[in-house]
Amino acid sequence: MSNRYLERGVSAIKEDVHNAIKNEKKGLFENTFCKIIPDIVSGDLDYCNIMHADGAGTKSILAYLYWKETGDISIWKGIAQDALIMNIDDMICVGACNNFVMSSTIGRNKHLIPGDVITEIIRGNNEVINTLKKYGINIYSSGGETADVGDITKTIIIDSTVFTREKRENIIEFNLKNNDVIIGLSSSGKSKYEKEFNSGIGSNGLTSARHDILNNIYSKKYPETYSEETPKDLVYCGNHLLTDKHQLYKNMGKMLLSPTRTYSPIIKKVLEKHRNNISGIIHCTGGGQTKILNFLNNHRVIKNNLFEVPEIFKIIHEDTECTLREMYQVFNMGHRMEVYCKKELSESIIQISKEFDVDAKVIGYVERSSKNELIIESENSSIKY
């Protein structure tokens, strides 16, 4: 890791968090993407409970900037989607695809964030819920909490907690095998269930993207949008304005604020057909393309056929001193969902994804190894983690 990301107070590998929880019990399964606990809700030994909490992170600051600059309050709907989907798409990695209960938590500085913004966030949640219901994925809102905490939150933070029950026999536990292939599902483009073209940015690495792309004018206009501890030369040090025109996204701000794509309709259909033959599913969020390192067990993963890097990540790379090594640790770089399976299943899974207008392909493979490692091969480099 370069110091650039760390000096902004962010870690892609979350070493402090992993160290803090290293002695915690892992739950019913040793190696699942989310922690699984017994079904304490009903006491049914055939079922288990899954609860997950996540949010839009610093993408909410981008929405704040865009709203203040343009007056477009509807931008907050996308942030609601970010906060919800970051939970749902983690939970589908363990095989849970339906009957989710959601609680929304919003902490705001009431001096800067009026009630109209809260209304748009609630509308955004409802729109996502209604869209996914059409694909057999039911999400029930149980309300939540909106707290006025201006003394600890400069602008706004938007999180969700999601709960579901699932049969234990349906849980996807990591069980990688020699010669498994990796199917990547593209993070950019326009799926059947999306209203607009998606840049692929998701909800990770936005601290870096925001500061490295946007012009220093925002540091003077909106000092509430960054930490005073951040070195001044790393605060809004880019070349672009949010309102810079763009052919596909209207402007640079809309490109950065593309709502996080969900893969839940695709994974639901994949599991209906191939659940018992899946070796693992990865949501490439915190840690980007290196996320798989948390789940290896004497295997080497080689990613040697990645998607073309979406424009948003090319801009970040070209406009900054960020190395490719760090880029792959921070951003998804072209695909945000990975399915690990036997080669024979690859064409079927790829076809299912393309039925939803989401590009998919085999992006790599797995082999046994005496140590856990990841190798990313791009056009001009080979990076080992």
Task: Please choose, from the candidates 137, 57, 147, 65, the residue with its C-alpha nearest in 3D space to the C-alpha of residue 109.
Answer: 147
Alpha helices in 183-298 (DSSP H): 206-213, 217-221, 252-256, 264-274
Sort 226 into a burial class: Cβ within 10 Å, 0-12 / 13-18 / 19+: buried
Backbone φ and ψ for 282, nearest 5 degrees, come out as: -120, 130
Q: Which residue has the tokens 């998919």?
A: 360
Across 165-201, b (16+ Cβ under 10 Å) vs e yields bbebeebbbbebeeebbbbbbbbbbebebbeeebbbb
Scan for tokens 């052919």, then name that residue. 247
pLDDT at 5: 60
SS3 119: helix
> Residue 14's domain is classified under what CATH number?
3.90.650.10
Number of domains in the chain: 1
**Residue carrying the six token digits 């070349």:** 239
Pairing of strands 278-283, 382-384: unpaired
Q: How far apart are CA 379 and CA 304, in angstroms?
A: 9
Amino acid at 283: H
Kindly state the average pLDDT of the residues 360-374: 97
pLDDT digits (tens, 9 = 90+) for 317-363: 988 878 899 999 999 999 999 999 999 999 999 999 999 999 999 99
Three-state DSSP at 377 gives: strand
* Calpha distance 187→261 (Å, rounded): 7
- The answer to whether 86 touches 68, Cβ cutoff 8 Å, is no
- Give the range among 8-17, 207-216, 273-282 with minimum mean pLDDT: 8-17
Q: What is the pLDDT of residues 157-178, one digit of tens each?
A: 999 999 999 999 999 999 999 9
What is the per-residue pLDDT for 1?
46
The mean pLDDT of the chain is 94
Q: In sequence order, what DSSP letters do the residues of 29-48 get, joined into one string?
A: -SS-SS-BEE-TTT--TTEE
Please calculate the CA angle 352-355-358 and round it to the nearest 5 degrees: 90
Domain enclosing residue 129, as ranges: 3-384
- Residue 29: predicted pLDDT: 95
CA distances from 1 to 4, 17, 212, 233, 295 (A): 8, 17, 16, 18, 20
Q: What does the alpha-carbon distance between residue 309 and residue 331 come to, in Å, rounded to a whole number?
A: 11
pLDDT tens, residue by residue, 286-311: 899 999 999 999 999 999 999 999 99
C-alpha to C-alpha distance for 157 and 57, rounded to whole angstroms = 7
SS3 call for 261? coil
Q: Which two tokens stand for residue 342?
A: 């036997």
